[in-house]
Protein backbone atom coordinates (compact mmCIF):
# COMPACT_ATOMS: atom_id res chain seq x y z
CA UNK A 1 0.00 0.00 0.00
CA UNK A 2 1.46 3.36 -1.09
CA UNK A 3 0.25 6.20 1.11
CA UNK A 4 -0.04 9.86 0.23
CA UNK A 5 -1.55 12.98 1.71
CA UNK A 6 -3.28 16.03 0.39
CA UNK A 7 -5.63 18.71 1.67
CA UNK A 8 -8.71 17.95 -0.44
CA UNK A 9 -9.32 14.56 -2.07
CA UNK A 10 -11.57 15.05 -5.09
CA UNK A 11 -13.42 12.04 -6.47
CA UNK A 12 -14.45 12.49 -10.11
CA UNK A 13 -13.05 14.54 -12.99
CA UNK A 14 -16.28 15.94 -14.39
CA UNK A 15 -17.02 19.66 -14.47
CA UNK A 16 -17.62 19.73 -10.69
CA UNK A 17 -14.37 18.02 -9.63
CA UNK A 18 -12.14 19.74 -12.16
CA UNK A 19 -13.53 23.22 -11.49
CA UNK A 20 -13.19 22.70 -7.74
CA UNK A 21 -9.57 21.63 -8.19
CA UNK A 22 -8.85 24.88 -10.06
CA UNK A 23 -10.67 27.01 -7.48
CA UNK A 24 -8.68 25.44 -4.66
CA UNK A 25 -5.41 25.70 -6.56
CA UNK A 26 -5.98 29.43 -7.05
CA UNK A 27 -6.16 29.76 -3.24
CA UNK A 28 -3.03 27.71 -2.68
CA UNK A 29 -4.93 24.63 -1.51
CA UNK A 30 -3.63 21.25 -2.66
CA UNK A 31 -5.87 18.57 -4.05
CA UNK A 32 -5.69 15.18 -5.76
CA UNK A 33 -8.34 14.31 -8.34
CA UNK A 34 -9.20 10.60 -8.70
CA UNK A 35 -11.16 9.59 -11.81
CA UNK A 36 -12.30 6.07 -12.60
CA UNK A 37 -12.45 6.45 -16.40
CA UNK A 38 -9.72 7.15 -18.94
CA UNK A 39 -8.83 10.66 -20.06
CA UNK A 40 -10.03 9.78 -23.54
CA UNK A 41 -13.41 8.66 -22.20
CA UNK A 42 -13.86 11.84 -20.14
CA UNK A 43 -12.95 14.02 -23.11
CA UNK A 44 -15.36 12.37 -25.51
CA UNK A 45 -18.56 11.94 -23.54
CA UNK A 46 -21.22 14.08 -25.20
CA UNK A 47 -23.15 15.97 -22.57
CA UNK A 48 -25.05 19.25 -22.19
CA UNK A 49 -24.01 22.52 -23.75
CA UNK A 50 -25.69 25.58 -22.22
CA UNK A 51 -23.75 27.75 -19.76
CA UNK A 52 -25.30 30.44 -17.60
CA UNK A 53 -23.38 33.69 -17.28
CA UNK A 54 -22.41 32.79 -13.71
CA UNK A 55 -20.80 29.55 -14.92
CA UNK A 56 -18.96 31.37 -17.71
CA UNK A 57 -17.68 33.94 -15.20
CA UNK A 58 -16.44 31.24 -12.85
CA UNK A 59 -14.72 29.28 -15.62
CA UNK A 60 -13.01 32.50 -16.68
CA UNK A 61 -11.97 33.21 -13.11
CA UNK A 62 -10.25 29.82 -12.89
CA UNK A 63 -8.40 30.40 -16.15
CA UNK A 64 -10.62 28.22 -18.35
CA UNK A 65 -12.10 31.10 -20.32
CA UNK A 66 -9.80 31.37 -23.29
CA UNK A 67 -11.27 28.89 -25.80
CA UNK A 68 -14.68 29.38 -24.24
CA UNK A 69 -14.43 33.09 -25.10
CA UNK A 70 -13.34 32.31 -28.65
CA UNK A 71 -15.63 29.41 -29.51
CA UNK A 72 -18.58 29.85 -27.14
CA UNK A 73 -21.65 31.23 -28.88
CA UNK A 74 -23.64 33.80 -26.93
CA UNK A 75 -27.43 33.56 -27.28
CA UNK A 76 -29.88 36.23 -26.26
CA UNK A 77 -33.07 34.24 -26.80
CA UNK A 78 -34.64 30.80 -27.15
CA UNK A 79 -37.82 29.74 -28.94
CA UNK A 80 -40.82 27.73 -27.86
CA UNK A 81 -42.71 25.99 -30.64
CA UNK A 82 -46.25 24.61 -30.36
CA UNK A 83 -49.50 24.42 -32.32
CA UNK A 84 -47.72 25.17 -35.57
CA UNK A 85 -46.02 28.41 -34.43
CA UNK A 86 -42.55 29.36 -33.17
CA UNK A 87 -42.27 32.06 -30.52
CA UNK A 88 -39.07 33.71 -29.38
CA UNK A 89 -38.45 34.42 -25.70
CA UNK A 90 -36.05 37.39 -25.65
CA UNK A 91 -33.99 36.24 -22.67
CA UNK A 92 -31.69 39.25 -22.47
CA UNK A 93 -34.44 41.85 -22.91
CA UNK A 94 -36.40 40.25 -20.09
CA UNK A 95 -33.50 39.89 -17.67
CA UNK A 96 -31.64 43.19 -17.91
CA UNK A 97 -29.09 41.86 -20.37
CA UNK A 98 -28.30 38.32 -19.17
CA UNK A 99 -27.43 35.75 -21.84
CA UNK A 100 -26.44 32.10 -22.18
CA UNK A 101 -23.36 30.67 -23.86
CA UNK A 102 -23.41 27.57 -26.04
CA UNK A 103 -20.25 25.58 -25.33
CA UNK A 104 -20.22 21.83 -24.86
CA UNK A 105 -19.61 20.33 -21.43
CA UNK A 106 -17.18 18.05 -23.24
CA UNK A 107 -15.15 21.12 -24.23
CA UNK A 108 -15.28 22.52 -20.67
CA UNK A 109 -13.90 19.21 -19.42
CA UNK A 110 -11.14 19.12 -22.07
CA UNK A 111 -10.05 22.66 -21.18
CA UNK A 112 -10.00 21.94 -17.44
CA UNK A 113 -8.09 18.67 -17.86
CA UNK A 114 -5.48 20.39 -20.02
CA UNK A 115 -5.01 23.15 -17.42
CA UNK A 116 -4.60 20.64 -14.63
CA UNK A 117 -2.15 18.50 -16.58
CA UNK A 118 -0.12 21.53 -17.71
CA UNK A 119 0.12 22.74 -14.12
CA UNK A 120 1.48 19.32 -13.17
CA UNK A 121 -1.11 18.91 -10.42
CA UNK A 122 -2.26 15.39 -9.55
CA UNK A 123 -5.12 14.06 -11.68
CA UNK A 124 -5.24 10.27 -11.82
CA UNK A 125 -7.31 8.62 -14.53
CA UNK A 126 -8.35 4.98 -14.36
CA UNK A 127 -8.26 4.98 -10.56
CA UNK A 128 -9.98 1.71 -9.71
CA UNK A 129 -12.04 0.67 -6.70
CA UNK A 130 -12.10 4.12 -5.14
CA UNK A 131 -13.45 3.78 -1.59
CA UNK A 132 -13.97 6.36 1.16
CA UNK A 133 -13.11 5.63 4.81
CA UNK A 134 -13.51 7.45 8.15
CA UNK A 135 -15.54 10.24 6.56
CA UNK A 136 -17.45 10.81 9.81
CA UNK A 137 -14.31 12.24 11.40
CA UNK A 138 -11.77 14.85 10.39
CA UNK A 139 -9.10 12.47 9.03
CA UNK A 140 -10.80 10.80 6.07
CA UNK A 141 -8.96 8.42 3.78
CA UNK A 142 -9.51 7.36 0.20
CA UNK A 143 -8.23 4.00 -0.99
CA UNK A 144 -7.91 3.06 -4.66
CA UNK A 145 -5.81 1.10 -7.11
CA UNK A 146 -3.75 2.80 -9.77
CA UNK A 147 -1.20 1.30 -12.15
CA UNK A 148 -1.80 -2.02 -10.44
CA UNK A 149 -0.83 -0.65 -7.00
CA UNK A 150 -3.01 -0.32 -3.94
CA UNK A 151 -2.91 3.25 -2.66
CA UNK A 152 -4.21 5.34 0.18
CA UNK A 153 -4.77 9.09 0.20
CA UNK A 154 -5.18 10.86 3.53
CA UNK A 155 -6.84 14.25 3.42
CA UNK A 156 -8.71 16.85 5.45
CA UNK A 157 -11.76 16.99 3.21
CA UNK A 158 -13.26 14.73 0.57
CA UNK A 159 -15.20 16.29 -2.30
CA UNK A 160 -17.60 13.76 -3.81
CA UNK A 161 -17.83 14.98 -7.42
CA UNK A 162 -18.33 11.54 -8.92
CA UNK A 163 -21.72 11.94 -10.55
CA UNK A 164 -24.96 10.11 -9.98
CA UNK A 165 -23.45 6.60 -10.06
CA UNK A 166 -20.36 7.40 -8.00
CA UNK A 167 -19.23 5.96 -4.68
CA UNK A 168 -19.36 9.13 -2.60
CA UNK A 169 -23.07 9.46 -1.96
CA UNK A 170 -23.25 5.70 -1.36
CA UNK A 171 -20.60 6.05 1.39
CA UNK A 172 -22.92 8.07 3.60
CA UNK A 173 -24.47 5.73 6.20
CA UNK A 174 -28.03 4.60 5.64
CA UNK A 175 -30.57 6.78 7.37
CA UNK A 176 -28.60 10.01 7.01
CA UNK A 177 -29.74 10.98 3.52
CA UNK A 178 -33.23 12.04 2.59
CA UNK A 179 -33.88 11.42 -1.09
CA UNK A 180 -36.56 13.24 -3.09
CA UNK A 181 -37.04 11.99 -6.61
CA UNK A 182 -39.26 11.75 -9.63
CA UNK A 183 -38.87 9.50 -12.64
CA UNK A 184 -40.33 10.51 -15.96
CA UNK A 185 -41.87 7.87 -18.21
CA UNK A 186 -39.84 9.04 -21.22
CA UNK A 187 -36.31 9.80 -22.34
CA UNK A 188 -34.43 11.75 -25.00
CA UNK A 189 -32.77 10.31 -28.04
CA UNK A 190 -29.97 12.77 -28.83
CA UNK A 191 -27.84 13.12 -31.93
CA UNK A 192 -24.80 15.14 -32.88
CA UNK A 193 -24.95 15.88 -36.61
CA UNK A 194 -22.37 17.28 -38.97
CA UNK A 195 -24.58 20.01 -40.36
CA UNK A 196 -24.95 23.73 -39.75
CA UNK A 197 -27.76 24.38 -37.23
CA UNK A 198 -30.99 25.29 -39.02
CA UNK A 199 -31.85 27.87 -36.39
CA UNK A 200 -29.43 30.30 -34.79
CA UNK A 201 -31.07 29.87 -31.40
CA UNK A 202 -32.43 26.84 -29.51
CA UNK A 203 -35.96 25.67 -30.30
CA UNK A 204 -37.95 23.70 -27.70
CA UNK A 205 -40.89 22.08 -29.50
CA UNK A 206 -44.14 20.73 -28.10
CA UNK A 207 -45.70 18.34 -30.63
CA UNK A 208 -48.48 15.77 -30.53
CA UNK A 209 -45.89 13.07 -31.35
CA UNK A 210 -43.70 14.26 -28.47
CA UNK A 211 -41.08 16.83 -27.57
CA UNK A 212 -38.16 17.79 -29.82
CA UNK A 213 -35.22 20.15 -29.29
CA UNK A 214 -32.97 21.85 -31.77
CA UNK A 215 -29.63 22.82 -30.25
CA UNK A 216 -26.08 23.18 -31.50
CA UNK A 217 -22.45 22.86 -30.60
CA UNK A 218 -20.82 25.11 -33.20
CA UNK A 219 -21.61 26.87 -36.49
CA UNK A 220 -21.18 23.50 -38.22
CA UNK A 221 -22.49 21.02 -35.63
CA UNK A 222 -26.13 20.50 -34.72
CA UNK A 223 -27.34 18.80 -31.54
CA UNK A 224 -30.92 17.52 -31.72
CA UNK A 225 -33.20 15.52 -29.47
CA UNK A 226 -36.54 13.72 -29.74
CA UNK A 227 -38.66 12.41 -26.90
CA UNK A 228 -38.74 8.60 -26.84
CA UNK A 229 -39.62 5.91 -24.29
CA UNK A 230 -37.31 5.88 -21.25
CA UNK A 231 -36.07 2.41 -22.20
CA UNK A 232 -36.05 3.03 -25.94
CA UNK A 233 -33.87 0.66 -27.96
CA UNK A 234 -31.54 2.82 -30.03
CA UNK A 235 -31.35 -0.09 -32.49
CA UNK A 236 -34.91 0.75 -33.51
CA UNK A 237 -33.75 4.17 -34.69
CA UNK A 238 -31.85 4.13 -37.96
CA UNK A 239 -30.72 7.61 -39.03
CA UNK A 240 -33.58 8.05 -41.53
CA UNK A 241 -36.15 7.46 -38.81
CA UNK A 242 -34.51 10.02 -36.51
CA UNK A 243 -34.48 12.68 -39.23
CA UNK A 244 -38.07 11.93 -40.24
CA UNK A 245 -39.22 12.33 -36.64
CA UNK A 246 -37.24 15.54 -36.18
CA UNK A 247 -38.68 16.91 -39.45
CA UNK A 248 -42.22 16.15 -38.27
CA UNK A 249 -41.83 17.58 -34.78
CA UNK A 250 -39.73 20.64 -35.62
CA UNK A 251 -41.11 21.36 -39.11
CA UNK A 252 -42.89 24.59 -39.90
CA UNK A 253 -44.22 25.87 -43.20
CA UNK A 254 -41.46 27.86 -44.92
CA UNK A 255 -38.66 26.45 -42.71
CA UNK A 256 -36.62 23.32 -43.29
CA UNK A 257 -34.40 21.37 -41.00
CA UNK A 258 -31.12 20.67 -42.76
CA UNK A 259 -29.89 17.08 -42.40
CA UNK A 260 -26.34 15.76 -42.30
CA UNK A 261 -24.25 12.78 -41.20
CA UNK A 262 -25.02 11.66 -37.65
CA UNK A 263 -21.75 11.52 -35.68
CA UNK A 264 -23.12 10.24 -32.39
CA UNK A 265 -26.44 9.05 -30.99
CA UNK A 266 -27.71 7.86 -27.65
CA UNK A 267 -30.72 7.64 -25.34
CA UNK A 268 -30.84 9.22 -21.89
CA UNK A 269 -33.49 8.68 -19.26
CA UNK A 270 -34.89 11.61 -17.36
CA UNK A 271 -35.09 12.00 -13.64
CA UNK A 272 -35.31 14.55 -10.87
CA UNK A 273 -33.34 13.61 -7.76
CA UNK A 274 -32.09 15.45 -4.69
CA UNK A 275 -30.17 13.88 -1.81
CA UNK A 276 -29.89 15.92 1.37
CA UNK A 277 -27.85 16.78 3.30
CA UNK A 278 -25.11 17.26 0.71
CA UNK A 279 -22.48 16.67 3.39
CA UNK A 280 -21.58 14.18 6.07
CA UNK A 281 -18.58 14.60 8.36
CA UNK A 282 -15.68 15.58 6.15
CA UNK A 283 -17.40 14.53 2.89
CA UNK A 284 -19.07 17.17 0.72
CA UNK A 285 -21.07 16.18 -2.37
CA UNK A 286 -21.25 18.43 -5.44
CA UNK A 287 -23.00 18.24 -8.80
CA UNK A 288 -24.71 15.10 -10.06
CA UNK A 289 -23.45 13.15 -7.03
CA UNK A 290 -26.07 15.03 -5.01
CA UNK A 291 -28.77 16.03 -7.49
CA UNK A 292 -30.08 15.36 -10.98
CA UNK A 293 -32.43 17.40 -13.12
CA UNK A 294 -34.12 16.39 -16.36
CA UNK A 295 -32.27 18.13 -19.21
CA UNK A 296 -35.17 20.30 -20.38
CA UNK A 297 -34.02 23.38 -18.48
CA UNK A 298 -30.30 22.88 -19.25
CA UNK A 299 -29.45 23.21 -15.56
CA UNK A 300 -27.30 20.15 -14.69
CA UNK A 301 -23.91 21.54 -15.63
CA UNK A 302 -24.70 24.95 -14.19
CA UNK A 303 -25.75 23.50 -10.86
CA UNK A 304 -22.55 21.46 -10.67
CA UNK A 305 -20.44 24.57 -11.22
CA UNK A 306 -22.52 26.62 -8.76
CA UNK A 307 -22.05 23.96 -6.05
CA UNK A 308 -18.29 23.96 -6.32
CA UNK A 309 -18.16 27.75 -6.37
CA UNK A 310 -19.68 27.62 -2.87
CA UNK A 311 -17.63 24.64 -1.78
CA UNK A 312 -14.35 26.16 -2.97
CA UNK A 313 -15.05 29.37 -1.08
CA UNK A 314 -16.09 27.47 2.05
CA UNK A 315 -12.95 25.32 2.03
CA UNK A 316 -10.75 28.37 1.48
CA UNK A 317 -12.41 30.30 4.33
CA UNK A 318 -11.74 27.36 6.62
CA UNK A 319 -8.06 27.01 5.71
CA UNK A 320 -7.39 30.75 5.58
CA UNK A 321 -9.33 31.99 8.61
CA UNK A 322 -10.50 28.90 10.45
CA UNK A 323 -14.02 29.96 9.53
CA UNK A 324 -16.24 26.87 9.34
CA UNK A 325 -19.49 28.69 8.62
CA UNK A 326 -19.33 28.12 4.85
CA UNK A 327 -18.66 24.42 5.32
CA UNK A 328 -21.35 24.05 7.96
CA UNK A 329 -23.89 25.94 5.83
CA UNK A 330 -22.90 24.30 2.53
CA UNK A 331 -25.98 22.09 2.14
CA UNK A 332 -28.42 24.84 2.94
CA UNK A 333 -26.72 27.33 0.65
CA UNK A 334 -26.70 24.87 -2.27
CA UNK A 335 -30.17 23.48 -1.83
CA UNK A 336 -31.95 26.76 -2.30
CA UNK A 337 -30.58 27.08 -5.82
CA UNK A 338 -30.89 23.35 -6.45
CA UNK A 339 -34.59 23.34 -5.64
CA UNK A 340 -35.22 26.40 -7.80
CA UNK A 341 -33.61 24.50 -10.69
CA UNK A 342 -35.48 21.31 -9.78
CA UNK A 343 -38.76 23.16 -10.02
CA UNK A 344 -37.86 24.91 -13.26
CA UNK A 345 -36.65 21.69 -14.93
CA UNK A 346 -39.73 19.77 -13.82
CA UNK A 347 -41.98 22.60 -15.05
CA UNK A 348 -40.32 22.83 -18.48
CA UNK A 349 -40.38 19.05 -18.78
CA UNK A 350 -44.05 18.78 -17.83
CA UNK A 351 -45.06 21.62 -20.14
CA UNK A 352 -43.28 20.31 -23.22
CA UNK A 353 -43.46 16.49 -23.27
CA UNK A 354 -46.20 14.19 -24.40
CA UNK A 355 -47.30 12.43 -21.23
CA UNK A 356 -47.78 8.69 -21.84
CA UNK A 357 -51.28 7.89 -20.67
CA UNK A 358 -52.11 11.59 -20.77
CA UNK A 359 -55.48 12.74 -22.03
CA UNK A 360 -56.69 15.79 -23.99
CA UNK A 361 -57.05 17.69 -20.71
CA UNK A 362 -53.29 17.39 -20.11
CA UNK A 363 -52.54 18.62 -23.62
CA UNK A 364 -54.86 21.63 -23.27
CA UNK A 365 -53.23 22.57 -19.96
CA UNK A 366 -49.80 22.47 -21.64
CA UNK A 367 -50.97 24.58 -24.56
CA UNK A 368 -52.66 27.09 -22.26
CA UNK A 369 -49.42 27.44 -20.31
CA UNK A 370 -47.32 27.76 -23.47
CA UNK A 371 -49.64 30.45 -24.89
CA UNK A 372 -49.41 32.30 -21.61
CA UNK A 373 -45.60 32.10 -21.47
CA UNK A 374 -45.20 33.53 -24.98
CA UNK A 375 -47.86 36.23 -24.63
CA UNK A 376 -47.43 37.57 -21.10
CA UNK A 377 -44.22 39.48 -20.34
CA UNK A 378 -44.58 38.40 -16.71
CA UNK A 379 -44.76 34.71 -17.60
CA UNK A 380 -42.00 35.01 -20.21
CA UNK A 381 -39.81 36.74 -17.62
CA UNK A 382 -40.34 33.81 -15.25
CA UNK A 383 -38.99 31.45 -17.87
CA UNK A 384 -36.16 33.83 -18.84
CA UNK A 385 -34.94 34.48 -15.27
CA UNK A 386 -34.76 30.78 -14.60
CA UNK A 387 -33.22 29.89 -17.93
CA UNK A 388 -30.36 32.38 -17.63
CA UNK A 389 -29.89 31.44 -13.97
CA UNK A 390 -30.57 34.69 -12.16
CA UNK A 391 -33.59 33.18 -10.41
CA UNK A 392 -31.33 30.50 -8.97
CA UNK A 393 -28.71 32.96 -7.77
CA UNK A 394 -31.39 34.91 -5.96
CA UNK A 395 -33.11 31.82 -4.48
N1 LIG B 1 -14.42 6.85 -8.75
C2 LIG B 1 -13.86 7.89 -9.43
N3 LIG B 1 -14.53 8.62 -10.34
C4 LIG B 1 -15.80 8.30 -10.59
C5 LIG B 1 -16.44 7.24 -9.92
C6 LIG B 1 -15.71 6.51 -8.98
N7 LIG B 1 -16.25 5.49 -8.32
N8 LIG B 1 -17.72 7.18 -10.37
C9 LIG B 1 -17.86 8.12 -11.29
N10 LIG B 1 -16.70 8.82 -11.44
C11 LIG B 1 -16.43 9.93 -12.35
C12 LIG B 1 -17.12 9.82 -13.70
O13 LIG B 1 -16.41 8.97 -14.60
C14 LIG B 1 -17.14 11.26 -14.15
O15 LIG B 1 -15.99 11.61 -14.88
O16 LIG B 1 -16.95 11.12 -11.80
C17 LIG B 1 -17.20 12.05 -12.85
C18 LIG B 1 -18.52 12.71 -12.63
O19 LIG B 1 -18.72 13.68 -13.61
P20 LIG B 1 -20.16 14.10 -14.15
O21 LIG B 1 -21.03 12.90 -14.26
O22 LIG B 1 -19.95 14.92 -15.36
O23 LIG B 1 -20.79 14.96 -12.95
P24 LIG B 1 -20.56 16.48 -12.51
O25 LIG B 1 -19.14 16.86 -12.55
O26 LIG B 1 -21.35 16.60 -11.26
O27 LIG B 1 -21.25 17.33 -13.64
C28 LIG B 1 -22.65 17.38 -13.81
O29 LIG B 1 -22.76 16.23 -15.88
O30 LIG B 1 -24.25 14.47 -16.24
C31 LIG B 1 -23.98 15.79 -16.48
O32 LIG B 1 -26.14 16.74 -16.71
C33 LIG B 1 -25.03 16.62 -15.88
O34 LIG B 1 -24.29 18.52 -16.92
C35 LIG B 1 -24.32 17.85 -15.66
C36 LIG B 1 -22.95 17.48 -15.26
C1 LIG C 1 -27.82 20.55 -25.55
O2 LIG C 1 -27.40 21.34 -26.43
O3 LIG C 1 -27.30 19.45 -25.38
C4 LIG C 1 -28.97 20.94 -24.72
C5 LIG C 1 -29.50 22.21 -24.84
C6 LIG C 1 -30.58 22.56 -24.08
C7 LIG C 1 -31.13 21.67 -23.20
C8 LIG C 1 -30.59 20.41 -23.05
C9 LIG C 1 -29.50 20.04 -23.82
O10 LIG C 1 -32.22 22.03 -22.46
91 is a domain residue:
no
372 is a domain residue:
no
Burial 195-219 (b: 16+ CB within 10 A, else e): bebbbebbbbbbbeebbbbbbbbbe
84 is a domain residue:
no
- pLDDT of residue 380 exceeding 80, the answer is yes
Handedness of CA 51, 56, 62, 63 (dihedral sign): positive
Is 319 among the residues known to form the active site?
no
264 is a domain residue:
no
Task: Tell me, in angstroms, the distance from the centre of ligand 2 to residue 390's CA.
Answer: 18
Query: Per-residue confidence at 38, pLDDT binned at 50, 70, 90?
Result: very high
- Predicted confidence at residue 270, as pLDDT, reads 95
Q: How many domains does the chain have?
A: 1
- Predicted confidence at residue 393, as pLDDT, reads 84
Q: Residues 52-79: what's their mean pLDDT?
A: 97
Is 75 among the residues known to form the active site?
yes
- Residues 6+ away with beta carbon under 8 Å from 236: none
Lowest mean pLDDT segment, chosen from 44-48, 115-119, 198-202, 391-395: 391-395
Other CB atoms closer than 10 Å to residue 316's CB: what's the count? 18
Tens digits of residue pLDDT in 324-371? 999 999 999 999 999 999 999 999 999 999 999 999 999 999 999 999
Give me the CATH number covering residue 133.
Answer: 3.50.50.60
- Predicted confidence at residue 92, as pLDDT, reads 97
Q: What H or E segment, with its residue span, contains residue 386?
A: helix 377-388
Task: Tell me, in angstroms, the distance from the centre of ligand 1 to residue 200's CA.
Answer: 30
Instruction: Give the closest ligand to the alpha carbon of residue 298.
Output: 2
- CA atoms within 13 Å, Cβ hemisphere of 243: 14
- pLDDT of residue 1 exceeding 80, the answer is no
212 is a domain residue:
no
> Distance of CA 374 to CAs 3, 80, 86, 370, Å?
59, 8, 10, 6
Is 265 among the residues known to form the active site?
no
Tens digits of residue pLDDT in 126-163? 999 999 999 999 999 999 999 999 999 999 999 999 99
Q: Which residue minimizes the CA distance to atom 9 of ligand 2? A: 48
- pLDDT of residue 394 exceeding 90, the answer is no
199 is a domain residue:
no
Q: Cis peptide before 277, with omega less than 30 degrees from 0?
A: yes
- What is the Cα–Cα distance from 102 to 346, expressed in whole angstroms? 22
Q: Is the pTM of the predicted complex or chain greater than 0.85?
A: yes
Query: Per-residue confidence at 267, pLDDT binned at 50, 70, 90?
Result: very high
295 is a domain residue:
yes
110, 299, 330, 353: the active-site residue? 299
Q: What DSSP line would sit under 170-182, residue for residue?
A: GGSPTTT-EEEEE
112 is a domain residue:
yes
Query: Per-residue confidence at 50, pLDDT binned at 50, 70, 90?
Result: very high
- Predicted confidence at residue 266, as pLDDT, reads 95
Q: What residues make up the domain containing 126? A: 2-74+99-180+271-354
Is 204 among the residues known to form the active site?
yes
Please give the angle made by the CA atoms of 92, 96 and 98, to the nearest 5 degrees: 45
Is 299 among the residues known to form the active site?
yes
Instruction: Give the closest ligand to the alpha carbon of residue 46.
Output: 2
Q: Residues 93-105: what's their mean pLDDT?
A: 97
**C-beta 47 within 6 A of ligand 1:** yes
**Closest ligand 2 atom to Cα of 50:** 5
Instruction: Please state, rounded to an integer, the average pLDDT across all residues of the chain.
Output: 97
Q: Is 284 helix (H, G, I), strand (E, B) or coil?
A: strand
Of 174 and 371, the one with more pLDDT: 371
- Could you tell which of 14, 46, 48, 59 is best to mutate to test the pocket of ligand 1, judged by most ligand atoms within 8 Å of the CB? 14
Q: Determine how β-strand 31-34 pairs with β-strand 123-124.
A: parallel
Which residues line the pocket of ligand 2, CB cutoff 6 A? 48-50, 202, 215, 223, 295-296, 298
Amino acid sequence: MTAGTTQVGIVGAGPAGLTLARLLGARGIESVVLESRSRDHCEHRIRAGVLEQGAVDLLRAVGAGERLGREGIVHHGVSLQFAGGRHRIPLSELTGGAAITIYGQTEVVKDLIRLRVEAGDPLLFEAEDVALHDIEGDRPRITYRHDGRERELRCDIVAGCDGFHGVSRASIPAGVLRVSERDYPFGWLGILADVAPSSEELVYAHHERGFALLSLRSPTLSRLYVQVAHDEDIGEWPDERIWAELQTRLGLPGWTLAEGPILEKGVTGMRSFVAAPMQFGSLYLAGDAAHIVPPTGAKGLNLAIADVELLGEAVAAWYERGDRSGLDGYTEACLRRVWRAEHFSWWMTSMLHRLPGGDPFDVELQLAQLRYVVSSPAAATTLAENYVGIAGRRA
